[in-house]
Chain A
Amino acid sequence: SQQGEEDPQALSIQEGENATMNCSYKTSINNLQWYRQNSGRGLVHLILIRSNEREKHSGRLRVTLDTSKKSSSLLITASRAADTASYFCATDTTSGTYKYIFGTGTRLKVLA
């Protein structure tokens, strides 16, 4: 099974609203990264949060990490139609393996 699981799997909001996506993982991690993917395109790196960090901001993005709950959230504020995409979290584990595991993405649709 996937290391990371995103929640919700699909989200539809109005432009200007905030979108929150959650990710849970199973094993201990070094860091967690969020990516965006437009349909049929490559994965664009959004933000990296290390295991000793609790919150990180980048523009309209805010990521939190709770290692005790093995979960992370991505908040996109003041969403725009251009934010419509799939969002994935991926984890770097400390388990000795060098896989880089993706969760089930959240398909975000922002309606104009």
Chain B
Amino acid sequence: AAGVIQSPRHLIKEKRETATLKCYPIPRHDTVYWYQQGPGQDPQFLISFYEKMQSDKGSIPDRFSAQQFSDYHSELNMSSLELGDSALYFCASRLGQGGNTIYFGEGSWLTVV
């Protein structure tokens, strides 16, 4: 079965640069979540979308923005990167906003040097 696809899997950027992460949800899933997991840390909720609209917001820095497109894929844009942004970024998807299983991608490793 198709899973959540994230790209790129690994990304190295310099401080103050910009990075874009992409997420392709499981077919028919209309809800996407983004999480950030620092080294040795727990996943922290960043932002979620349902039917192309932002549905909730967590601890997402103002330097980050995200959107969900008409085909339900989502992109997380990160600007003015800082060393502390180095983390594993997860995307997850599910059908509907509540009650169903949420499936996660393998994550995108961002290293800021």
- Of the listed stretches A41-49, A54-62, A63-71, A74-82, name the one at the interface; the rest are far from the partner chain: A41-49
For window 61-112 of A, CB contacts with B under 8 Å fall at 88, 90, 92, 97-105
Whether the Cβ atoms of B104 and A100 lie closer than 8 Å is no
CA distance A104 to B109 in the complex (A): 20
Whether the Cβ atoms of B45 and A100 lie closer than 8 Å is yes
Tell me the interface secondary structure of chain B in the complex. Answer: strand
Given contacts A43-B43, A88-B42, A105-B42, contact A100 B106 (CB under 8 A): no
Whether the Cβ atoms of A102 and B88 lie closer than 8 Å is no
Q: For A48, what are the chain B residues with a Cβ–Cβ distance below 8 Å? A: 101
For chain B, give the interface size range.
Answer: 20 to 34
Whether the Cβ atoms of B42 and A104 lie closer than 8 Å is yes
> Which residues of A come within 8 Å of B, CB atoms?
2, 30-31, 33, 35, 40-45, 48, 50, 88, 90, 92, 97-105
